[in-house]
Each structure stands twice: as C-alpha cells, then as structure tokens.
Chain A
Amino acid sequence: MTPSTTATDLPLSSALQDNINDSKITIEQSPHPAYLHHLATQILHDLQHQHDWTFLTIHKFSSLTNNPLPRPIISGLPPRRAYIHPDEQIEILKAEHETGVSVKQEPEREWVLPSQIQETWSLAKFTLVFDALDTVPPGDSGKENEGERSVGWKWQGKNRQKRLLLGTVHDDSTVVYYIMHDGIVKPRQN
C-alpha cells in the first residue's frame, strides 16, 4: 500500500513477461523487429492459456517461398473446430439425420495473424500475408490417407478456403479473434 516502493522490491514479473523474456534469444535471430515478435508472443500466450490451444508455433518464414513472412505468424490447434462452413454444417446435419450418429468434429490447425488495435492494415498487406501462407499450417497429422472420406471433407484440410484468425490485442491485453477468409465465403447462420 505504501507508495515508497523502491526498485529493489519490484513485483515479480508476470507470466507474460517471463514468456517474452524467454523469447529474447529467438528474437535476435529473427528477421522481424522485436515489437512484432512480442506481439506474436503475447497473442500466443493468450491462445495457450485463455483458449487452450495446443501445438502453438511462431512462424517467421513462409513455407511456400522461404522468404520472411510480413510479420511472425502463429499456428496452432484449437481445442474444437474454429470454423465450420455453412454448407459443411448442412452436410453434417444431413449425415447425422440419416445415420442417427453424431459426426465428430476434429479440430483443424489454424493460422493466427497477430495485430494491435492501433494498427492500420491495407488490402495490399493482407494480400502479402495470405499469399505467403499455405492453406493448412504445417505439421498436421496426416489424416489424408483415410480410406473413406469423412463428412464435409470438401471444406476440410487442403480443400478449405484459405483462412486465418486475426488476433487483435488491446492495451488492456484483451485479445479478440476474427476469422478472415481469402475471397468470398458466405456467412455462417449462427
């Protein structure tokens, strides 16, 4: 309560600060400025602890061109499907109605593009990001070889429209996520 705290008894650094400190070594090898890396780290932290995402990775280079990405981009596996296309939803409902068995929805890896509320983007910048990314983040367990095509395969894996989650962090460390599709994708009827 006393305002006379000295530099020696600073409070312990937060988990987020630790996280950022830990990433210092990787930042030095990164083609991106430190603040972009800190932004990505902060959003990764939120995904990991707030939303229970797993297999989180920060990508610095494009897997398509091997050039540096416009900024570090996160990929990870959400605990449940982050997006179901409305037509896929219809197919699932149909299948469930016919078989009487509920169709299990396996989560898919997603891209997360870190951003900050005071930033401005442009169509050109978004295009650079999308063009540098694969449709599906790397490291997916190869489910492609399943003999039978699962329900809604047309909207899954490599068949899906390229998309990412735009994670935007506010000064109060609130992070909001918006799905961004590359192209015209009809909306979900939630």
Chain B
Amino acid sequence: MCRRAVMTQSIDSVSEPIPISLVSGRYLLFDINVVTYLRRTHNICGVLIGGIPQAPQQNVFLGLPLELIPEEVKLLVAKEAAYIVDDTAWHKERFSTLQGEDRRKYLDSLRSEGLQARKATDAAAKEKTKKALAKQAVLRAQNKSISTEKSIDVETTVTSSSERVGKFFEDASESGESLFNNERPPSPETSSALNPYFVTPTTSYSPSSLPENPLQHPDPPVSCSYPLFSHLHSRGYYIMPGLRFGGDYNVYPGDPLRFHSHFIATGFEWDQEIPVLDLIGGGRLGTAVKKGFLIGGKDKESESEGDSVRTFCIEWAGM
C-alpha cells in the first residue's frame, strides 16, 4: 500500500489477491505497481484522481490514488484477484493495537523504505553528474583544439560565446580554482548520515498486517449495467467511465492510451423501458464521434450457457 516511494520495485512484486482500500465509499489503490499490474494483467484501468505535487494547479494529468468504479471492484473480487479492505475499520482495529515488536517492525519498514528511496535518488543524481561531467570534458577537449587553431589567427577578436565559456572553464581549471569542483573532498557527513527520506504512508497500517484470510467483504453495490460490463470485459475490451459521451461506459478495443473507443455502452434491465428517443440520441451522438451506441443487458430467463447477455449496436443509417 505505502510502497509508492520505492519506484524500483517492479510489478513482479505484486501478488494476488490485491487489497483495495475502501475509503468513504470509494475504492482506491495507492501503489503504482498494483495499478500497472491491474492494467496489464486484468485490463482494469480505473481513474487517477490524485493531484500531482509538481503540477498542482491543473487537473488534466492526475496521479495516485487510482479510483476504481464498483463494477471493476466487483469483477476483481469475483475473479478472486482482489479483496476489499475497509480502511476506517482496519485503522481502528490495528492502530491502537500496533505495539511493541509489531510497531518497531512497522517503523523499521518505513525507515528502510525511506533509505531505499534515498539511495535510489542519490544513485540517480550521481549518474546525472557523471554524464554532465563527461559531456563537459568532451566540450573542453573540442574547445582546446579550436582555441589552439584560433590563437594562430591573430586577427580573431570576436570569439563566440561558447568558446568564451569554454575558455573560462579552461582558465579556471588551469589556475586550479574551478567553480565546479569535480573532486569534492569527501565530507564526513555523506558517508555516515545517508538520511532516509521520510515516507508518508498512505495507510495507517502496515501492508504486512493486512488480514491474512481476507473476509469476504459483501460485494460492492453495482448498477444494473454490471452484466454488460463483465460481458464486454470478458471479451477483452477495456472499459472506462462513460460520462464523456453520455453513456455508462466508454468501451475501448485495447488500452485506452493506444486506441480510440469503439462504443458508448449503456446497460439496461431485460424489461426496462427504453425510449426510442434515447436510442436515436445515443446513435446520433455515437456516429458523430465515430463510435457505436451499444446497449445490452442480461436475459434473466435465458437458459443458455454463458453470461446470457444480449447486446445491440446502433449507428446512424445515413439516410
């Protein structure tokens, strides 16, 4: 849950079933590895709803946490790929009882995560410095050859700015007063105090303290469109919330990052009345945005095998 700081961990570390946090009626995921895993393995996209710290004043691009719609949660729970953890209840149960050894272990785990994150950042920074220095060295060598040529040419009074900069570095290094000293004397603090970053956990319990035998949480309440949702999902479609085009779902033939959606899908009960105007409106809008308007639902009387979901696609006939 709170491993978000450690980006080096791959999605291989994700193991099913995945805990889904239920926070005030929303189903949330806080781990980027889990998010990636669900998207790759289960075609579950969800919606990112968290602000990005580096760009807080916009909402075009959002970050963690990821919110799952109840249909997605129900599907994952039904597949036994995930289970629901009621965060409030679990917090109350665990927070007061987290003592002694457990508490120390939890704090240690946070510390080691912070340390790992710190190490990762430091390594990245070092790599960056190394690259920059190598680049500089190349530049310096070039400038040296150029300036020796130029020195022969006495008439050259105007040197390009890059040359001037190069010359500056050269002079500085020659006089031994480099502004950007490469070989910084090892300060005593770097070696001993690799301060771990302070990790703010997203949950108030440690991931290791999650229920071992996840109690079968009652199924999340879903809309009557769920049969259509699972029908489409089982056929490999990716499904996103459908508000944008006025349906229940937008249905994509592949990952929504790579494909346009094919359908605006709306689920109905088998005998639910559908006004003809709704069909025309959906068909018309769908055709205007190069999609089909897909309606469907579960035939409750059907005795055929499979999910007995019946679907119809509506497009404008162009006449």
Q: Is B197 an interface residue (CB 8 A)?
A: no
In the complex the two chains form, is B299's CB within 8 Å of A122's CB?
no
Whose C-beta in chain B lies nearest to the C-beta of A186? Answer: B262
Among B262, B292, B319, contact of A177 (Cβ-Cβ < 8 Å): B319
Whose C-beta in chain A lies nearest to the C-beta of B228? Answer: A123
In the complex the two chains form, is A123's CB within 8 Å of B292's CB?
no
In the complex the two chains form, is B271's CB within 8 Å of A185's CB?
no
Please list 30 pairs of residues, one from A and one from B, whose beta carbons are closer than 8 Å in the complex, sorted by A's number. A82-B318, A83-B317, A115-B276, A119-B275, A120-B275, A121-B279, A122-B271, A123-B270, A123-B272, A124-B299, A166-B314, A168-B280, A176-B280, A177-B316, A177-B317, A178-B315, A181-B312, A181-B315, A182-B312, A183-B313, A185-B313, A187-B262, A187-B263, A187-B286, A187-B292, A187-B313, A188-B290, A188-B315, A190-B287, A190-B290
Q: Is A136 an interface residue (CB 8 A)?
A: no
- Chain B residues in contact with chain A, CB under 8 A? 232, 235, 253, 262-263, 268-277, 279-280, 283, 286-287, 290-292, 294-297, 299, 310-319
Kindly supply a per-residue 1/0 record for chain A positions 97-111, scoring 1 wherever the CB is within 8 Å of any chain B CB and 0 otherwise: 000000000000000
Q: How far is the CB of B288 from chain A (nearest CB, A)?
A: 9
Q: Considering the chains assembled together, what is the distance between the CA atoms of A117 and B66 in angstroms?
A: 42
In the complex the two chains form, is A122's CB within 8 Å of B294's CB?
no
Whose C-beta in chain B lies nearest to the C-beta of A115? Answer: B276
Among B253, B268, B297, B314, contact of A180 (Cβ-Cβ < 8 Å): B314
Kindly supply a per-residue 1/0 record for chain A positions 121-144, scoring 1 wherever the CB is within 8 Å of any chain B CB and 0 otherwise: 111101100100000000000000
Q: How far is the CB of B14 from chain A (nearest CB, A)?
A: 31
Q: Considering the chains assembled together, what is the distance between the CA atoms of A126 and B312 in angstroms?
A: 9
Whose C-beta in chain A lies nearest to the C-beta of B265? Answer: A184
Whose C-beta in chain B lies nearest to the C-beta of A126? Answer: B312
Q: Is the interface of A mostly helix, strand, loop or mixed?
A: mixed
Q: Is A90 an interface residue (CB 8 A)?
A: no
Whose C-beta in chain B lies nearest to the C-beta of A169? Answer: B276
B314 surroundings in chain A (CB, below 8 A)? 166, 178-181
B311 surroundings in chain A (CB, below 8 A)? 183-184
Q: Is A65 an interface residue (CB 8 A)?
A: no
Supposing A83-B317, A122-B270, A185-B292 touch, asked if A180 and B312 sit within 8 A by C-beta, the answer is: yes
Whose C-beta in chain B lies nearest to the C-beta of A187? Answer: B292
Supposing A166-B314, A178-B317, A183-B313 touch, asked if A123 and B297 sit within 8 A by C-beta, the answer is: yes
Whose C-beta in chain A lies nearest to the C-beta of B294? Answer: A184
- Most A CB contacts (10 A, CB to CB) among B270, B299, B312 go to B312
